[in-house]
A and B are shown apart, each in its own frame.
Chain A
Amino acid sequence: MTPTEPHVYSVEETRIIRARQAARSRVMGVVLVGLCILFFLITIVKVGVWG
C-alpha cells in the first residue's frame, strides 16, 4: 500500500476556500450579534423592566 500524498491546493482552490470561510464568518458574525440582542431583550423582559 502506498502512502497517500497530502492534497496540495491550487491557487484557485485556495481562493475559493478563503472566500467560503470569509462568507461563513460573516454570516456567523451576524447570527451572533442577533443572538446577543435577542438574549439582552429576553433578559430585560424576564426581569420585568417592560412589565
Chain B
Amino acid sequence: MTTATRENIMPAEWRDFWALTKPRVMSLVVFTALCGLLAAPGEIHPVIGFTAILCLAMGAGACGALNQWYEADVDAKMARTSKRPLPAGRMDREAALHFGIGLAAFSVGIMGVAVNWLSAGILAFSIFFYSVVYTIWLKPNTPQNIVIGGAAGAFPPVIGWTAVTSDVTLLPILLFAIIFLWTPPHFWSLALFMKTDYGAAGIPMLPNVSGQKVTRNQIFAYSFPMAVAAIAPFALGQAGWLYGISAIVLNLLFLGLAFNVWRNQATEASAMKPEKKLFAFSILYLFLLFGLFAFDRMLIL
C-alpha cells in the first residue's frame, strides 16, 4: 500500500504537465512533420499548416503523457527517468492519464475538423500504436520492441504530407521507412551504454537479452537498408542533387560510425565511445537529412 506524501497531495505545477509531454521528443516529431509538410506537392494555407503541426505536437505530447502514466513504476527504477513528475511524486497518476487522453482526443478532433480526416486517422492510429502496441504490449515483452514500435515515430512526416495532399504516395512511405529503419541503430546504441539502467528496470532491450555482440551486429545491419531508403528519393528522381549528395555523405558517415560500433568489443559504458558517437550523430543525421530533403523539394517544386 502506498501512502500519499505531503508533496504528492499538492496540485502539480504546470511545468510538470509540460514535462509529461516529453518536449525534446516532441521537437523531433514537429521537425520531421514540418519537413513532410514542406516537401509535399500542392499548397496549404499557413493557418491550416500551423494547425496540422500543432495537432501533431499535441498528439506527440499525449503519447508522452500516456507513456509516463503507464511506466511510472518502471521510470522510478532508472536514474535517467526517476526525476520525471510521476516517479518523483510531484503529480498523481490519474491527472497524467486524464491529461494524456484529453490531449489525444483534442488533437485528433481538431486535425480532422480543420485539416482532413485522413491525417486525423493516421494521427489517431499512431497515438494508439505508441501508447498501446509499443508502451503496453511490446516494450515490456520483447527485445524487438523498438523495431516495431519505431513505426509510431515514423508517422509524423507522413501526416505532414497528407495534411497537404490528402493521399499517401511513394515518397511519404520512403520518409516513413527512413525513420523506421533509423530507430533501431539510434536506440540500440543508447541501450548499449545505458544497459545497466534498462536492466535494472526489467525492460528487455536487445543488449540485456541477446548480448552486446548481437546488438552491434543488428546496429550495423540496420544501417544498410536505412541508407538505401535515405538515398532512394534521389535515386528515384524525387529529390535533387543537393539532397542526393548530402544523403550519400550523411549515410557514409553513419555507416562509418556504425562500423566502428560493430568493431568495438567494449563491455563497460566508459569505453563505449563509438556507441556514444553514433547515438549523438544519429540525431544530427535525422535533422540534417529531413531538413535538406524539405529544402531540396521546395527548390524543385
Does B associate with A?
yes
Which A residues form the contact surface with B (CB < 8 A)? Answer: 7, 13, 16-17, 20-21, 23-24, 27, 38, 41-42, 44-46, 50
Given A41-B47, A50-B45, is A24 in contact with B11 using a C-beta cutoff of 8 Å? yes
Residue of B nearest to A46 (CB): B114
Q: Are A20 and B47 touching (Cβ within 8 A)?
A: no
| Interchain CA distance A41-B54 in the complex, whole Å | 14
Q: Which chain A residues border B50 with CB–CB below 8 Å?
A: 38
Residue of B nearest to A40 (CB): B47
Question: Does B48 reach chain A (CB closer than 8 Å)?
Answer: yes
Q: Which chain B residues border A21 with CB–CB below 8 Å?
A: 11
**Taking the nearest CB of chain B, how far is it from the CB of A25, in angstroms?**
9
Chain B window 246-262, contacts with chain A (Cβ cutoff 8 Å), 1 for yes, 0 for no:
00000000000000000
Partner of B13 from A20, A44, A46 at Cβ < 8 Å? A20
Q: Are B11 and A17 touching (Cβ within 8 A)?
A: yes
Q: How many residues of B contact A (CB 8 A)?
A: 14
| Interchain CA distance A20-B220 in the complex, whole Å | 49
Q: Are B11 and A42 touching (Cβ within 8 A)?
A: no
Given A41-B47, A45-B47, is A24 in contact with B10 using a C-beta cutoff of 8 Å? no
Question: Does B9 reach chain A (CB closer than 8 Å)?
Answer: yes
Q: Which chain A residues border B9 with CB–CB below 8 Å?
A: 7
Q: Are B14 and A45 touching (Cβ within 8 A)?
A: no
| Interchain CA distance A45-B6 in the complex, whole Å | 49
| Interchain CA distance A7-B47 in the complex, whole Å | 49
Q: Are B14 and A13 touching (Cβ within 8 A)?
A: no
Residue of A nearest to B48 (CB): A45
Given A23-B13, A23-B14, A24-B11, is A42 in contact with B114 using a C-beta cutoff of 8 Å? yes
The A-contacting residues of B in range 236-275, CB under 8 angstroms, are: none
Q: Are A16 and B10 touching (Cβ within 8 A)?
A: yes
| Interchain CA distance A23-B15 in the complex, whole Å | 10
Q: Which chain A residues border B13 with CB–CB below 8 Å?
A: 20, 23-24
Q: Which chain A residues border B10 with CB–CB below 8 Å?
A: 13, 16-17, 20
| Interchain CA distance A23-B16 in the complex, whole Å | 12
Q: Which chain A residues border B45 with CB–CB below 8 Å?
A: 45, 50
Q: Are A42 and B51 touching (Cβ within 8 A)?
A: yes
**Taking the nearest CB of chain A, how far is it from the CB of B52, in angstroms?**
11
Residue of A nearest to B6 (CB): A13
Residue of B nearest to A42 (CB): B114
| Interchain CA distance A20-B12 in the complex, whole Å | 7
Which 9 pairs from chain A and chain B are nearest by CB? A27-B14, A41-B47, A42-B114, A24-B14, A45-B47, A20-B11, A45-B45, A20-B13, A23-B14
Q: Which chain B residues border A17 with CB–CB below 8 Å?
A: 10-11
**Taking the nearest CB of chain B, how far is it from the CB of A23, in angstroms?**
6
| Interchain CA distance A35-B6 in the complex, whole Å | 35
Centre residue among A7, A41, A44 by max chain B CB count within 10 A: A41
Q: Which chain A residues border B47 with CB–CB below 8 Å?
A: 38, 41-42, 44-45
| Interchain CA distance A27-B11 in the complex, whole Å | 14
Residue of A nearest to B50 (CB): A38
**Taking the nearest CB of chain B, how far is it from the CB of A1, in angstroms?**
13
| Interchain CA distance A16-B50 in the complex, whole Å | 36
Chain B window 1-42, contacts with chain A (Cβ cutoff 8 Å), 1 for yes, 0 for no:
000001001111110000000000000000000000000000
